[in-house]
């Protein structure tokens, strides 16, 4: 009955195949044009970002040249060779001026980035910060020190891209808390360094600003994701830098470039940076040429202003007594998580460090590992695939260094399970690490390894370094 009424209201008409074909072709053509326009817009954004960077480099080169003409007798090599502690002392006493140090490092940074492509952008406002520093009545711990910062650490008036095209149009409206504290301590942020696309890579390359090279070997990577920082500091273009770390982004570049780096306890420093949301906490930390430089940076950052600007940061200042003390320490370590196979060279390095600490009189202890903790760690791995794909889902051109990683992420879950079933018998089972087993007696003898004490030990280590 209903069908009859519908036929009366909507009389049948023959579909013209030519019209249907024309409609299909028109839709396909519209889709092609739309994609072409989208790619064209992306290319324009990338070209504009590169043009802005190049103009900034030229302006800085011109400023350095003008400074050289005004002060031709600067001993560049002598300044660049000074360790951070000695440089701060010379600046505090007035034997070196902040302006001389700043332009010396800018000149060196221009040279290093020309060789390694480590800079994303210079910060032209460093001239204004220089004047502000010279007007300060009280000299902060980092008075007159040029500091480089990683791409996604917010600085007012500049991009915070994470290596993504979709972030090229977003200008930061306010300095991040960490940058504010650096400036209050007399530091002069002068450059922002390159990062890999989406920050999810141990290399350092993105489609907009290109590949960063290792300053010691241009055929090698500086590591990632704080690879621009690693290359700039190792090349001598910066004496102190700020990176970030979730799964090795400070530690890997520091290792690849022969530097010292510290990943503090999560939330030990304010982390109000442009970053992709993830359940694994991100930590900001210093990178430099020696451990004393890291300690000075942490001492400067862990101040009342940091605690006031970000109430989520625990108000625990740097403990100089603990850092300077020669009393034996209790150090926790492990050389496997019983999930990821560890290469023998890395396990050997951990064991060598353990023996060196024991020989120096420190107590080295293995924390117990429960099944629940292992399961939690495995679940944390699951955030990576969808997060990486979502960050690249807005038309971003995938960087060549990331393509294999992205292709693996795009394999459907069913396909991954089938591959696991096929490949699992071909991979020899990872031997259980007997040293991980902690007996009930050992746990009773070492009751310190509960959650609260573990956090206390971790905080102490952060203060010491």
DSSP secondary structure letter of residue 197: G
Take residue 67 and report the two structure tokens written for it.
Answer: 């400074």
Q: Which two tokens stand for residue 290?
A: 């020696």
Radius of gyration of the chain (CA): 27
198, 205, 221, 225: which one is catalytic?
Answer: 225
- Does the annotation count 150 as an active-site position? yes
Q: Residues with Cβ < 8 Å from 10, sequence gap 6 or more?
A: none
Q: Are strands 188-193 and 146-150 parallel, antiparallel or unpaired?
A: parallel
Pair 217, 256: CB distance under 8 Å: no
Which class for 84: exposed (0-12), middle (13-18), buried (19 or more C-beta within 10 A)?
buried
**Can you give the length of the chain in residues?**
465
CA distance 182 to 300: 8
Q: How far apart are the C-alpha atoms of 373 and 261, rounded to whole Å?
A: 27
Is residue 267 within 8 Å of residue 312, measured between CB atoms?
yes
User: Going by DSSP bridges, is the β-strand pair 205-206/119-122 parallel, antiparallel, or unpaired?
Assistant: unpaired
Q: Starting from the edge strand earliest in sequence, which strands make up the sheet with 119-122, in order?
A: 119-122, 188-193, 146-150, 241-245, 283-288, 260-261
User: How does DSSP classify residue 258?
Assistant: T
From the candidates 108, 150, 180, 263, give the one annotated as an active-site residue. 150
61-119-178-279 Cα dihedral, nearest 10 degrees: 170
CB 225 within 8 A of CB 200: yes
The tokens describing 371, both together, are 């099944």
Question: CB–CB of 455/268 below 8 Å?
Answer: no
Answer yes or no: 249 catalytic: yes
Residues 6+ apart with CB under 8 A from 380: 279, 280
Q: Is the preceding peptide bond at 314 cis, omega within 30 degrees of 0? A: no
Q: Which two tokens stand for residue 381?
A: 């791995």
The span from the CA of 339 to the CA of 155, in Å, is: 39
Nearest CA to 263 out of 279, 241, 280, 287 is that of 287
Say whether 225 is catalytic: yes
Dihedral of alpha carbons 98, 99, 100, 101, sign: positive
Composition of the chain by helix, strand, coil, percent to 5: 50, 10, 40
* DSSP three-state, residue 46: helix
Q: Which of 205, 249, 293, 401 is catalytic?
A: 249
> Looking at the annotation, which residues are catalytic?
150, 225, 249
């Amino acid at each position: 009955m209903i069908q009859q009424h519908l036929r009366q209201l909507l009389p049948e008409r023959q579909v013209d195949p030519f019209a249907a074909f024309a409609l299909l072709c028109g839709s396909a053509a519209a889709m092609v044009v739309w994609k072409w326009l989208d790619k064209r817009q992306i290319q324009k954004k990338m070209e504009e970002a590169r043009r802005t960077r190049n103009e900034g480099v030229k302006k800085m080169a011109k400023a350095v040249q003008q400074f050289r003409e005004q002060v031709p007798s600067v001993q560049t090599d002598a300044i660049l060779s000074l360790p951070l502690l000695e440089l701060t002392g010379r600046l505090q006493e007035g034997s070196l001026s902040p302006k001389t140090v700043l332009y010396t490092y800018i000149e060196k940074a221009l040279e290093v980035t020309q060789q390694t492509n480590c800079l994303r952008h210079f910060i032209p406002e460093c001239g204004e910060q220089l004047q502000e520093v010279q007007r300060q009545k009280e000299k902060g711990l980092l008075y007159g020190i040029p500091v480089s910062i990683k791409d996604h650490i917010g600085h007012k008036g500049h991009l915070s891209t994470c290596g993504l095209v979709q972030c090229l149009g977003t200008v930061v409206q306010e300095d991040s808390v960490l940058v504010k504290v650096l400036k209050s301590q007399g530091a002069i942020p002068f450059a922002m360094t390159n990062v890999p696309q989406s920050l999810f890579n141990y290399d350092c390359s993105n489609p907009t600003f290109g590949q960063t090279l290792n300053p010691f070997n241009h055929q090698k990577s500086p590591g990632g994701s704080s690879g621009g920082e690693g290359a700039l500091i190792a090349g001598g273009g910066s004496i102190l830098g700020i990176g970030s770390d979730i799964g090795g982004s400070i530690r890997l570049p520091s290792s690849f470039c022969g530097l010292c780096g510290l990943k503090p306890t999560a939330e030990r420093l304010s982390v109000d940076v442009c970053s992709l949301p993830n359940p694994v906490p991100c930590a900001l930390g210093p990178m430099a040429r020696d451990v004393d430089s890291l300690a000075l940076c942490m001492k400067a950052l862990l101040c009342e202003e940091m605690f006031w600007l970000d109430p989520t940061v625990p108000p625990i200042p740097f403990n100089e007594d603990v850092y300077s003390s020669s009393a034996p320490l209790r150090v926790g370590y492990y050389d496997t998580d019983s999930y990821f196979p560890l290469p023998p060279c890395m396990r050997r390095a951990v064991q060598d460090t353990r023996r060196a600490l024991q020989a120096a009189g420190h107590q080295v202890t293995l924390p117990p590992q429960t099944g629940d903790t292992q399961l939690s760690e495995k679940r944390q791995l699951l955030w990576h695939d969808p997060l990486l794909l979502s960050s690249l889902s807005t038309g971003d051109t995938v960087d060549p260094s990331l393509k294999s990683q992205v292709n693996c992420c795009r394999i459907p879950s069913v396909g991954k399970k089938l591959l696991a079933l096929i490949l699992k018998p071909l991979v020899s089972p990872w031997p259980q690490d007997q040293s991980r087993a902690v007996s009930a007696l050992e746990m009773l003898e070492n009751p310190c390894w509960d959650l609260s004490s573990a956090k206390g030990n971790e905080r102490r280590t952060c203060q010491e370094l």
